[in-house]
Copies of this chain bind each other. A is one copy, B any other.
Amino acid sequence: MTSDGRRTRASGRPTLEQVAVEANVSRGTASRVVNGSLEVSPWALKAVQDAIRKLGYVPNHAARSLVTQRSDTVLLVVSESEDRVFGEPFFASLVRGLSLELSTTPLQLNLIMANTARQHGRVEQQVRNGHVDGVFLISLHGDDPLPRNLIDAGAPVAVIGRPMSDIGAAPYVDADNESGARSATEYLYNQGRRRIATITGPQDMAAGVDRLAGYRSALRGKRGVSRLIAQGDFGQASGEAATRELLAKDPTLDAIFAASDLMAAGALRALRAAGRRVPDDVAVIGFDDSEVARHTDPALTSVRQPMQQMGRELAKLLITQLRDRETKLSPVILPTELIIREST
């Protein structure tokens, strides 16, 4: 008990009630001010604002959630099997973009790593419980049932990276992989390279398919250019192996476009082992503009994706759906940029 005989609150945090008392208005009016209602007299408005400042009042999230039935929380789900993705610097940029955009809203960002089916279940549960108002999904596997389940559970979803299969109503953000690959290949062509090979990504992932399509598109109709395709899996070892294979098929090749920086780094190794100079004998271009690209020797020319911007767009996609559940959004495809370094 305080000296005036009233119970002390456990935490020192002021409540809306206290603000109302301080401002000589009812709790209802105070609430209206906090929530920006227009039906408040200028006089009351000021009194409440002053009280809020004086007391250092901040709304209680739990109490508000309880009555509004919203959580003001969005979930970023990272499939652990994709932790290469997670570990790449571009993930940091993506999250920065998300944060930037979310910081203009009352939404909190919850992070969950969902590797197992059991954890996928937890995600769905969180959605059904209303603990989460919306979900960001990162780089799905082809046949992942998660997005559809989440949508069925009633949550808006936004996906980063074009899903291979139809994913229901979930909009996505992606870089323009095809166009990026096309520019890279055209750059090699314009350099005068005429024996241009590519190392593809896995063909069950959109990024793999689209980048190969870009390579093909760049060379379509061009005469006097030899095309050469080897299959990779985005990993360095596969790039190295693919390059050896390519070299065996055509020892005179003078350019390689790899669908990932890691594969390009592998190509660099294989080329050096084969005694080829880069870029003198063979030019190499990677994709992603990852950390690795900056640290190989020679440094890699690479196709950059605007990850931070993609993060912002991703956030916008979800925010829009949150504001109006009925909105049907289209995918957002952002342009890439070719970053020239030493390998071309």
A87 near B291: Cβ-Cβ < 8 Å? yes
A291 to B91, CA, bound (A): 14
B66 near A66: Cβ-Cβ < 8 Å? yes
| Chain B residues within 8 Å of A10, by CB | 69
A88 to B295, CA, bound (A): 13
A63 to B56, CA, bound (A): 24
| Chain B residues within 8 Å of A236, by CB | 294-295
B87 near A89: Cβ-Cβ < 8 Å? yes
Q: Which has the most chain B C-beta neighbours within 10 Å: A11, A93, A129, A131?
A: A129
A131 to B62, CA, bound (A): 8
Question: Would you call A250 an interface residue if the criterion is a C-beta within 8 Å of the partner chain's C-beta atoms?
Answer: no
A96 near B110: Cβ-Cβ < 8 Å? no
A178 to chain B, nearest CB (A): 26
Q: Mark A146-173, 1 if CB is under 8 A from B, else 0.
A: 0000000000000000000000000000
A60 to B63, CA, bound (A): 12
A110 to B272, CA, bound (A): 45
A236 to B296, CA, bound (A): 11
Question: Would you call A269 an interface residue if the criterion is a C-beta within 8 Å of the partner chain's C-beta atoms?
Answer: yes
A255 to chain B, nearest CB (A): 19
Q: Mark A266-296, 1 if CB is under 8 A from B, else 0.
A: 0011001000000000000000000110111
A119: nearest chain-B partner, CB-CB:
B103
A95 to chain B, nearest CB (A): 7
B58 near A66: Cβ-Cβ < 8 Å? no
Instruction: Evaluate whether A71 and B76 lie within 8 angstroms (CB atoms) in the complex, with A110-B111, A236-B295, A292-B291 already known.
Output: no
Partner of A95, one of B56, B65, B111, B297: B111
Q: Which of A95-153 contact B (CB under 8 A)?
A: 95-96, 99, 103, 108-113, 119, 125, 128-131
Question: Would you call A13 an interface residue if the criterion is a C-beta within 8 Å of the partner chain's C-beta atoms?
Answer: yes
Q: Mark A58-80, 1 if CB is under 8 A from B, else 0.
A: 10111101100101000010001
Instruction: Evaluate whether A58 and B13 lie within 8 angstroms (CB atoms) in the complex, with A63-B66, A86-B92 already known.
Output: no
A110 near B108: Cβ-Cβ < 8 Å? yes
A65 to B86, CA, bound (A): 31
A104 to chain B, nearest CB (A): 12
| Chain B residues within 8 Å of A17, by CB | none
A56: nearest chain-B partner, CB-CB:
B128
A58: nearest chain-B partner, CB-CB:
B129
B76 near A111: Cβ-Cβ < 8 Å? yes
Question: Would you call A265 an interface residue if the criterion is a C-beta within 8 Å of the partner chain's C-beta atoms?
Answer: yes
A59: nearest chain-B partner, CB-CB:
B129
* Apart from A61-B71, A295-B296: 5 A-B pairs, beta carbons within 8 A: A58-B129, A86-B92, A95-B113, A265-B297, A297-B297
The 3 lowest CB-CB distance pairs between A and B, nearest first, are: A87-B89, A62-B65, A87-B92
What are 10 A-B contacts defined by CB distance under 8 Å? A60-B130, A61-B62, A61-B129, A62-B66, A66-B66, A91-B92, A99-B112, A99-B113, A110-B111, A269-B297
